[in-house]
Amino acid sequence: MGDDAALFAPRVGWETILTCDWFLEDTHFLRGKHPADAVGWKCLARAVSDIAAMGGRPRCFLLSLALPQTLTGHWLDEFLGGLRRAARKFCCSLAGGDTTRRREILINVTVVGEVRKGQAVLRSGAKPNDVIYVSGRLGEAELGFRLLRSGETLAGAKGSLLKKHLYPEPRLALGQWLAEKGLPTAVMDLSDGLSSDLPRLCTASGVGARIEKAKLPIVSTAATKRTERSDGLQLALNGGDDYELLFTVPRRNVSHIPRSFRGVPLTSIGEITRGRAIVLRDKNNREYELVVGGWDPFRGAK
């Protein structure tokens, strides 16, 4: 720190993982709705999630921050508090960065991680007949964001949904376990919603997929207003920011995948297919094309 560049001592026998993520006011968060400490936590968590998907361990990060002069007091303190908590939680230390002044809050985070040579899992290895899994329940973060916009606070019964949106916890332990055991053929994190991210995994792997609608671990909308209750499937398919893992497992390895990992459910939701079609099958065996309706950063914050 202090120099323009940071030095990092890589471990022999490990590869370095590099990832960077924008976190921009009005595109990824709202200054008036998102607490500053959640902005600090989340800008690091979402980049760390890319390390988790590869089976890696975070080592350090660079923070590029542009901020209006008026936010350099209390807002910045809170932001740094959230960032520090996340850095401790993910064992990922601040190594450097770049700061400037700007009308809007602009954040870019680069995370450097490590994975044992040969153990990194890419999104391009899925094969026909592999079973598709997801961790956690899908749509929770999106529902949390709806609650945030309607003025709910962390204290209430809906706090866990809000927390999932504001303070996501990348699935580092799960990603490392999967990579170390060599169980999956492909892994990626769910940042934009299943309907956006599954096609990316399939395109990278040159395969298609069939998802069983009945198997999807859909967010529970019981605690929410009636208008949300019928939305579970849409939230699960299209909700962004879950930062759960999506992974594919060859049938010979399926018996090694537990029902849950450290309290996080692991659910098989379908299978990889030949061809390029990505379909959703209902309980009557009718198949529908999966339409991309997930988080689209080009539309701005929803």
Contacts with a second copy by CB under 8 A lie at 2-10, 12, 15-22, 24, 27, 50-51, 53-54, 56, 60, 62, 64, 66, 69, 95-98, 100-102, 106, 108, 110, 112-113, 115, 117, 120, 122-124, 188-189, 191, 204, 297-298
Give the residue with the Cβ less far from a second copy, 52 or 236: 52
Query: To the nearest whole angstrom, how small is the minimum distance from the Cβ of residue 178 to a second copy?
Result: 15
Give the residue with the Cβ less far from a second copy, 12 or 222: 12
Query: To the nearest whole angstrom, how small is the minimum distance from the Cβ of residue 219 to a second copy?
Result: 23
Half-sphere exposure of 7 (CA within 13 A, CB side): 3
Give the residue with the Cβ less far from a second copy, 221 or 248: 248
Element (H, E) at 165: helix 159-166
Q: What is the DSSP code string of 36-80? A: HHHHHHHHHHHHHHHHHHTT-EEEEEEEEEEE-GGGTTHHHHHHH
Query: To the nearest whole angstrom, how small is the minimum distance from the Cβ of residue 40 to a second copy?
Result: 17
Q: What is the DSSP code string of 170-232? A: --HHHHHHHHHHT--SEEEEESS-HHHHHHHHHHHHT-EEEEEGGG--BPP-TTS-HHHHTTH
Tokens 């940071």 label which residue? Answer: 6
Give the residue with the Cβ less far from a second copy, 94 or 223: 94
Query: To the nearest whole angstrom, how small is the minimum distance from the Cβ of residue 228 to a second copy?
Result: 28
Query: To the nearest whole angstrom, how small is the minimum distance from the Cβ of residue 7 to a second copy?
Result: 5
Give the residue with the Cβ less far from a second copy, 72 or 260: 72
